[in-house]
Amino acid sequence: MSARLANLRAEEARLREFFDDAENVSEMLAIEQELSRVRGEIESLDAQVKYLERQAAMATVTIELTEDRPVVRPEGESWGFIEAITRGIRGAANVLTFAITLLIAAAPLWITGLVVFFVVRAVIRRRKAKRIAPEAVAPVAPVVDEGGAEDGTEDEETATEVASPRVEE
């Protein structure tokens, strides 16, 4: 504020010089009008500065001094080891409680998911079994001996292989 006030006072001095150098009435009126505006701002800022100075003179300052605490506690007091262990155990219990609560709260979702999984799995297995079943039952041709007898008995030389079902998972 003080800098602004000093600038306005310098502007006022320049305007007074211009006023003295003015040659006609219109220039004098324009300079007088500007001089009046600048003088008003100077008075306004002056009043603000005086008010703030009076307020600062009446202000109450409160100072609180405290002594630094030692880093190491004096003898006879606890170092806090037991409290730290207790807080750690309580924290672990809180985590376990949260996990159990989450498991119970989400039970409808994961139970539904398991039911859907097993139903879909059973349907897929049945479809695979139906696809494999027709292939597994291959028609067996009657065994014919060299002599042309159809007795249904098999020799090692004339044995035919029966298709065995393949199970893929």
pLDDT tens for 57-91 read: 888 888 888 888 777 655 656 677 888 899 999 99
Q: At what angle do helices 107-136 and 81-105 cross, to 10 degrees?
A: 50
d(CA 28, CA 15): 10
Q: Hey, CA dihedral for 60, 43, 41, 13, is it positive or negative? A: negative
Q: What is the pLDDT of residues 101-113, one digit of tens each?
A: 999 999 999 999 9
Q: How many residues does the chain have?
A: 169
Percent over 90 (pLDDT), the chain: 34
pLDDT digits (tens, 9 = 90+) for 93-136: 999 999 999 999 999 999 999 999 999 999 999 998 888 876 65
pTM of the complete model beyond 0.85: no
Q: Residue 157: is its pLDDT beyond 80?
A: no
Q: Residue 96, SS3? A: helix
Compute the average pLDDT of residues 39-50.
Answer: 91
Tell me how many degrees the CA angle 146-147-153 measures, rounded to the nearest 5.
70
